[in-house]
Amino acid sequence: MYKFNYQRPNSVEDALALYKTSDDPKFVAGGMTLLPTMKLRLAQPSDLIDLSCVADLSGITETDDTITIGAGVLHADVAASKEVDRRIPALSNLAESIGDPQVRNRGTIGGSIANNDPAADYPAGVLGLNATVVTDRREIMADDFFTDMFETALLPDEVVVSVRFPVPKRAAYVKFPNPASRYAIVGVMVAECDSGIRVAVTGAGPCVYRFTEMEEALNKEFSPQVTGEIACEPDGLNEDIHASAEYRAHLVGVMVRRAVAAAN
Amino acid sequence: MRMKVQLSVNGRNIEGEFEPRTLLVDLLRDELRLTGTHVGCDTSQCGACVVHVNGRSVKSCTILVAQTQGSQVQTIEGLADGEKLHPLQAAFKEEHGLQCGFCTPGMIMSSVDLLNRNPDPSEKEIRDWLEGNLCRCTGYHNIVKAVQTAAKNMRN
Ligand SMILES: Cc1cc2nc3c(=O)[nH]c(=O)nc-3n(C[C@H](O)[C@H](O)[C@H](O)COP(=O)(O)OP(=O)(O)OC[C@H]3O[C@@H](n4cnc5c(N)ncnc54)[C@H](O)[C@@H]3O)c2cc1C
Ligand code: FES
Ligand code: FES
């Protein structure tokens, strides 16, 4: 790793103030993406501003129709949360499926969505469940948050404070994991929300996306049979040593069908 | 910039000034000479470096010493009670849960965390839990058996 300065503020205000006075700072949460990148010298921030002691980013709260997860909540704590499991079991399952126990003991939901890895799980959860990302200065709907590969609507100095999930009528997350890393080769969140069915796909394309033709079909009839009638085209899908675009397209159909069956 | 950090490692108080880029595993291996914690990769994937920080298993190659300020760290060296092996150490020996032994400290520290949370895990739960611990020798079979044996012995 290159040299850097390290700061651990206790409030969002202090974090933002430190950001302003540093040369080329970066926030760090669990460090499970940022530290490996820095170890490989692919990132070289002048200052790391550690958000793990910022109290406003912690905790899980619920209301009658929402669950709000602090940006700093660990994957392991989302997976173990009784509230999340009771209200949105699809989200507990998603958190439980991330990486391995040691990654889940450090990685956070805020870090995952700010990073927006094309194969990460939470982006599908946030987009599929129609969640709202709450930052230090505004609220961003999931539909506007994930803009491109490793790109989000966040400004460089913007801190994710929490993610608010409306409780769906039903939902399921199913993924075909890369057997080595557990990142999604294809992962699909299917949810029935107030606005209708939402289908969010991660791993398949350069950025998480909604599969709108499938949503329309499922809005008419919510059954696994219907999913087979909608074609998944390989155009524009990812292609790498793990899977061709054609294979990913096929997996999208299979994962949607399984998710619908699991949610039904 | 160096920064003051205080933590406890296997019950021993450690205070020092560290460069912020010092990884926990570097403190353990290079400064404290606790070389039971291994480094098997530079991509945070192999689990040879697993230790406990405040009772949770983490990869010591992917956490800064600075991030452990005020924490209790336990390594493989802190597991045995004098000459008496921890039940998981004893079971890995008994069941031939190792060959070269490179992965073993991480396997054991990870398994201790599992058995603390779930004293009676199924075979599938053990295999799922050890997802982040790679072994190039054993084929995992005897590792799973060792965890099952240790779990049984710890329950009795
Ligand atoms: C071996 C391994 C396997 C993995 N497998 C999976 C997997 O199967 N599925 C999966 O989804 N992920 C996987 N991950 C990634 C893991 O989930 C990370 O925890 C996650 O991507 C990043 O979270 P973090 O808290 O560690 O963020 P960090 O690494 O600390 O930060 C990541 C980025 O987010 C920014 N950031 C962090 N918090 C905030 C905030 N509150 N506001 C604004 N910006 C912020 C940082 O500046 C940085 O740019 C894996 C990682 C490893 C090492
Ligand atoms: S050394 Fe491989 S995960 Fe830490
Ligand atoms: S015993 Fe050799 S790597 Fe596991």
pLDDT for B132-141, tens place per residue?
999 999 999 9
As a whole number of angstroms, the distance between CA B108 and CA A240 comes to 34
Number of Cβ within a 10 Å radius of residue A224 = 16
Instruction: Find the Cα–Cα–Cα–Cα dihedral B35, B41, B47, B53, rounded to 10°.
Output: 60
At B36-69, the pLDDT tens digits run 999 999 999 999 999 999 999 999 999 999 999 9
Are the Cβ atoms of A106 and B129 closer than 8 angstroms?
A: no
Which chain B residues have a beta carbon less than 8 Å from that of A99? 131-132
Residue in the structure block whose two tokens are 């994957």: A75
Q: For each of the domains in chain B, give its residue range(s) and CATH number, in order of start.
A: 3-78 (3.10.20.30), 87-155 (1.10.150.120)
Residues of chain A with CATH 3.30.390.50: 170-263
Nearest residue on chain B to A3, judged by CA atoms? B21
As a whole number of angstroms, the distance between CA B89 and CA B74 comes to 15
Mutate to test the pocket of ligand 1, among A12, A18, A28 (most ligand atoms within 8 A of CB): A28
Closest by Cα among A136, A202, A197 to A169 = A197
Are the Cβ atoms of B62 and A106 closer than 8 angstroms?
A: yes
**Nearest-CB residue to A39 (from B1, B42, B131):** B42
3-state secondary structure of A46: coil
Which chain B residues have a beta carbon less than 8 Å from that of A32? 44, 62
As a whole number of angstroms, the distance between CA B47 and CA B113 comes to 13
Are the Cβ atoms of B45 and A40 closer than 8 angstroms?
A: no
* pTM (2 d.p.): 0.97
Distances (CA, A) of A249 to A185, A201, A253, A263, B85: 11, 11, 7, 21, 52
Region of B60 on the Ramachandran plot (φ > 0 left; ψ -120 to 50 alpha; else beta): alpha
Which chain B residues have a beta carbon less than 8 Å from that of A101? 57, 110, 113-114, 129, 131-132
Indicate the CATH number of A170-263 among 3.20.20.140, 3.30.390.50, 3.30.70.3270, 3.40.630.30.
3.30.390.50
Residue A218 confidence (pLDDT): 97
Q: How far is CA B106 from the centre of its chain?
A: 4
A182 close to B (CB below 8 A): yes
Question: String of b and e for A74-87 (b: at least 16 CB within 10 Å)?
Answer: bbbbbbebeebbeb
B92 within ligand 3 shell (Cβ under 6 A): no
Q: Taken in order B10, B138, B127, A253, is the CA torsion positive or negative?
A: positive
From first to last of the 264 residues of chain A, give the pLDDT tens digit: 999 999 999 999 999 999 999 999 999 999 999 999 999 999 999 999 999 999 999 999 999 999 999 999 999 999 999 999 999 999 999 999 999 999 999 999 999 999 999 999 999 999 999 999 999 999 999 999 999 999 999 999 999 999 999 999 999 999 999 988 899 999 999 999 999 999 999 999 999 999 999 999 999 999 999 999 999 999 999 999 999 999 999 999 999 999 999 998
As a whole number of angstroms, the distance between CA A133 and CA A209 comes to 16
Residue B1 has pLDDT above 90, yes or no: no
As a whole number of angstroms, the distance between CA A139 and CA A5 comes to 30
Residue B104 confidence (pLDDT): 98
| Gyration radius of chain B's alpha carbons | 16
Residue in the structure block whose two tokens are 């790391």: A48
Residue in the structure block whose two tokens are 């006075």: A21
Number of Cβ within a 10 Å radius of residue A241 = 5
As a whole number of angstroms, the distance between CA A186 and CA A120 comes to 10
DSSP secondary structure string, A9-58?
A: -SSHHHHHHHHHHSSSEEEESS-TTHHHHHHTTS---SEEEE-TT-GGG-
Angle between helices B87-94 and B104-117 (to 10 degrees): 120
**Nearest-CB residue to B47 (from A32, A102, A181):** A102
As a whole number of angstroms, the distance between CA A32 and CA A62 comes to 27
Residue A180 confidence (pLDDT): 87
Architecture of domain A1-55: 2-Layer Sandwich (3.30)
Residues of chain A with CATH 3.30.43.10: 1-55
Q: Taken in order A216, A185, A118, B48, is the CA torsion positive or negative?
A: positive
Contact between residue A249 and residue A237 where contact means Cβ atoms under 8 Å apart: yes
As a whole number of angstroms, the distance between CA A122 and CA A67 comes to 15
Are the Cβ atoms of B110 and A181 closer than 8 angstroms?
A: no
A32 close to B (CB below 8 A): yes
Are the Cβ atoms of B58 and A106 closer than 8 angstroms?
A: yes
Q: How far is CA A140 from the centre of its chain?
A: 14
Are the Cβ atoms of B1 and A6 closer than 8 angstroms?
A: yes
Nearest residue on chain B to A99, judged by CA atoms? B132
Distance A25 CA to ligand 2 centre (A): 26
Which residues of chain B have a Cβ shorter than 8 Å from any chain A Cβ?
A: 1, 3, 19-21, 42-45, 47, 50, 56-59, 61-64, 66-67, 69, 110, 113-114, 129, 131-133
Residue in the structure block whose two tokens are 């069941």: B95
Number of Cβ within a 10 Å radius of residue B13 = 8
Instruction: Label residue A89 exposed, middle or buried (CB < 10 Å: 0-12, 13-18, 19+).
Output: middle
Q: Identify residue A236 by its one-letter amino acid code.
A: G
The answer to ipTM > 0.95 is yes
Question: Which spans in A49-192 are helix H?
Answer: 75-80, 82-87, 89-96, 101-104, 109-115, 122-128, 142-145
Residue A62 confidence (pLDDT): 97
Residue A160 confidence (pLDDT): 98
* φ, ψ (nearest 5 deg) of residue A94: -60, -50
Ligand nearest to the CA of residue B46, numbered in listed order: 2
B134 within ligand 3 shell (Cβ under 6 A): no
